[in-house]
Chain A
Amino acid sequence: MKILTLIRQVPDAEARVRVQGSAVDLEGATLVMDGMDEYGVEQALRLKEAGAGTEVIALAVGPKRNEDALRTALAMGADRAIHVETNVALDAIALSKLVAQIASQEDASLILAGGQQADWDSQALGAATAERLGWPQLTWTNGLEVQGDKLVGRHDVDEGNESFEVSLPAVVTTQQGLNDPRYPTLPNIMKAKKKELRKDTLEQYGVQPLARVVGAEIQARARLGKVIDGKDAQAAAAQLLELLRSEAKVLA
Chain B
Amino acid sequence: MTIPPRLRRALVRMRRDLAFVAAGVPLHLVPALLSWWALSLLTDTVTGASPNAPVVLTAPLTLLVIAGYGFTEAQRWRFRAICGVELPRLRFAEGKRQLGYNWLVGPLLGVLEVLLLGLVLVALVAALVLVWVWLVPAQWRGGHPGYTTTGTYLTVLGLLALAAVPPLAAGLVRLEILVGRAVLGVSRSDELARRVEDLTESRAGAVDAADAERRRIERDLHDGAQQRLVSLALNLGLAKATLTDLPPEAQEVIDAAHREAKDAIEELNNLVRGLHPAVLDELGLDAALSGLAARAPLPVRLRVDLPAELPQRTAPAIEAVAYFVVSEALTNVAKHAREATRADVTVTRLAEILRVVIADDGMGGADPSRGSGLKGLAQRVRSVDGTFRMSSPVGGPTMMSVELPCPM
User: Do A and B belong to a common assembly?
Assistant: no
- Give me the interface of A with B, judged by CB distance under 8 Å: none
